[in-house]
Amino acid sequence: MPVIDLANPTRFLNVVNRVLLWLIAATLILFAIGLYRAMNAPDDYQQGATVKIMFLHVPAAWLGMFGWGLMSIAALGTLVWRHPLADVAGKAAAPIGAAFTFICLVTGSLWGRPTWGTYWVWDARLTSMLVLLLLYLGVLALYWTAEEPGRGARAAAVLSLVGAVNLPIIKFSVDWWNTLHQPASVFRMGGSSIDPALLTPLLIMALAFTLLFLTLHLAVMRNEILRRRVRSMRLLQSQKLAEASA
Amino acid sequence: MSAFASLLGRDMRLSVRVGGGALMGALFFLVVVSMIPFAIGPDLALLARIGPAILWLGALLASLLALDRLFATDYEDGSLDLLMMGSMPLELAVATKAIAHWITTGLPLVIIAPLLGLMLNVDLHSLGWLALTLAAGTPALTFLGLIGAALSVALRRGGLLLAVLVLPLTVPVLIFGVAATNVAIVGPAPFGPPFTILCALSLASLVLGPIAAAAVLRHGLE
Question: Is A129's Cβ below 8 Å from some Cβ in B?
Answer: no
Asked if the peptide bond before residue B188 counts as cis, ω within 30 degrees of 0, the response is yes
Chain mean pLDDT for chain B: 82
The CA dihedral of A202, A205, A209, A211, to the nearest 10 degrees, is 120
Q: Where are the domains of chain A?
A: 3-181+195-245
Contact predicate B106/B15, CB 8 Å? no
pLDDT digits (tens, 9 = 90+) for A18-41: 888 888 888 888 888 888 887 777
Strands (E), A130-178: none
Please give the full DSSP string across chain B, using - where no structure is assigned: -HHHHHHHHHHHHHHHSTTT-TTHHHHHHHHHHHHHHHHH-S-HHHHHHHHHHHHHHHHHHHHHHHHTTTTHHHHHHTHHHHHHHSSS-HHHHHHHHHHHHIIIIIHHHHHHHHHHHHHTT--GGGHHHHHHHHHHHHHHHHHHHHHHHHHHHHTT--THHHHHHHGGGGHHHHHHHHHHHHHHHH--S-SHHHHHHHHHHHHHHHHHHHHHHHHHHHHH--
pTM for this one? Answer: 0.82
H or E stretch covering A236: helix A196-245
Question: Is A165's Cβ below 8 Å from some Cβ in B?
Answer: yes
Residue A41: helix, strand or coil by DSSP? Answer: coil
CA distances to A143, A149, B154, B208 from B220, in Å: 13, 11, 5, 18
Q: What backbone torsions phi and psi does residue A178 show, to the nearest 5 degrees? A: -165, 135
Whether A155 sits inside 8 A of B216 (CB atoms) is yes
Q: State what percent of residues in chain B have pLDDT above 70.
A: 94
A165 → chain B, closest CA residue = B208
Whether A163 sits inside 8 A of B169 (CB atoms) is yes
Mean pLDDT lowest among A64-68, A233-237, B32-36: B32-36
User: What pLDDT, on a 0 to 100 scale, did the predictor assign at position A191?
Assistant: 53
ipTM: 0.78
Which chain A positions have a beta carbon within 8 Å of B147's beta carbon?
158-159, 162
User: What pLDDT, on a 0 to 100 scale, did the predictor assign at position B18?
Assistant: 65
Question: Is A154's Cβ below 8 Å from some Cβ in B?
Answer: yes
- Judge whether residue B152 has pLDDT over 80: yes
Which chain B positions have a beta carbon within 8 Å of A79's beta carbon?
215, 219
pLDDT digits (tens, 9 = 90+) for A35-82: 888 777 776 666 666 777 788 888 888 888 899 999 998 888 888 888
Torsion sign, CA atoms A105, A109, A110, A112: positive
Closest CA of chain A from B213, distance in Å: 8
User: What pLDDT, on a 0 to 100 scale, did the predictor assign at position B218?
Assistant: 82
d(CA B217, CA A188): 42
Contact predicate B8/B99, CB 8 Å? yes
d(CA B31, CA B3): 37
User: What pLDDT, on a 0 to 100 scale, did the predictor assign at position A48?
Assistant: 66
- Judge whether residue A158 has pLDDT over 60: yes
User: What pLDDT, on a 0 to 100 scale, did the predictor assign at position A179?
Assistant: 52
If one compares A149 and A228, the residue with the highest pLDDT of the two is A228
Whether A173 sits inside 8 A of B176 (CB atoms) is yes
B217 → chain A, closest CA residue = A155
CA distances to A29, A68, B123, B125, B217 from B83, in Å: 58, 33, 46, 45, 11
Question: Is A158's Cβ below 8 Å from some Cβ in B?
Answer: yes
pLDDT digits (tens, 9 = 90+) for A88-136: 888 889 999 999 999 988 888 888 777 777 777 777 778 888 888 999 9
Question: Is B132's Cβ below 8 Å from some Cβ in A?
Answer: no
Q: Where are the domains of chain B?
A: 2-220
Q: For residue A6, what pLDDT band results from cuts at 50, 70 and 90?
A: very low
Task: Tell which B residues from 145 to 184 touch A, by Cβ distance under 8 Å.
Answer: 147, 151, 154-157, 161, 164-165, 167-169, 171-172, 175-176, 179
Contact predicate B173/B142, CB 8 Å? no
